Amino acid sequence: MIPTTIQELSQIIDLSTSHLKLIDEQTYTHKESPEKWSKKEILGHLIDSASNNHRRFLLAQFEVNPIIFYDQDKWCKYNHYQVAPTQQLIDLWSALNKQLVHLWTNLTDEDFQRRANDQTLAFLAADYNSHLAHHLNQITGYIYLN
């Protein structure tokens, strides 16, 4: 399961990076309503998710069941994603996810049985990919996982 999960994330990064670059700025910044996120803010949310998941996977290697949560709406608001340069966000998102692939690749099967947020790292990795694919589909309209 773990090699498949790592391969899935690598494929998602490769496919979606080119798709993300095809979207025009007006489409990225359009908001259906003031309380909904734009596509750019969804991408920002994925940056925050990658950052927090990196921390989960890192800390779980030397702490017992670290609990890491964050207020996604506040993180999106105070990171000012709506006005950030789009290419910068794409590059940051890609780099953070490539680092996750690197981290996961260097974990053992035993490491993936360690826990964070009361879940195994194996579960969290698969869940991360599903979450990522769902939100990337909202941005690009492409289905990244079956």
pLDDT exceeds 80 at position 1: no
Indicate the burial class of 106 (C-beta count within 10 angstroms; 0-12, 13-18, 19 or more).
Answer: exposed
Look at residues 109, 141, 140 and name the one whose alpha carbon lies nearest to residue 6.
Answer: 109
pLDDT exceeds 90 at position 134: yes
Contacts of 1 (CB under 8 A, 6+ apart): 122, 126
Confidence grade of residue 113 (pLDDT, cut at 50, 70, 90): very high
The angle at the Cα of 69, spanning 63 to 70, to the nearest 5 degrees, equals 135
Give the pTM: 0.96
- CATH 1.20.120.450 corresponds to the domain 2-140: yes
Mean pLDDT of 111-134: 98
| pLDDT at 70 (0 to 100) | 96
How far the first Cα of the chain sits from its last, in Å, is 15
The angle at the Cα of 35, spanning 87 to 92, to the nearest 5 degrees, equals 20
Confidence grade of residue 2 (pLDDT, cut at 50, 70, 90): confident
What is the average pLDDT score of the chain?
97
> By three-state DSSP, how is residue 1 classified?
coil
| pLDDT at 146 (0 to 100) | 75
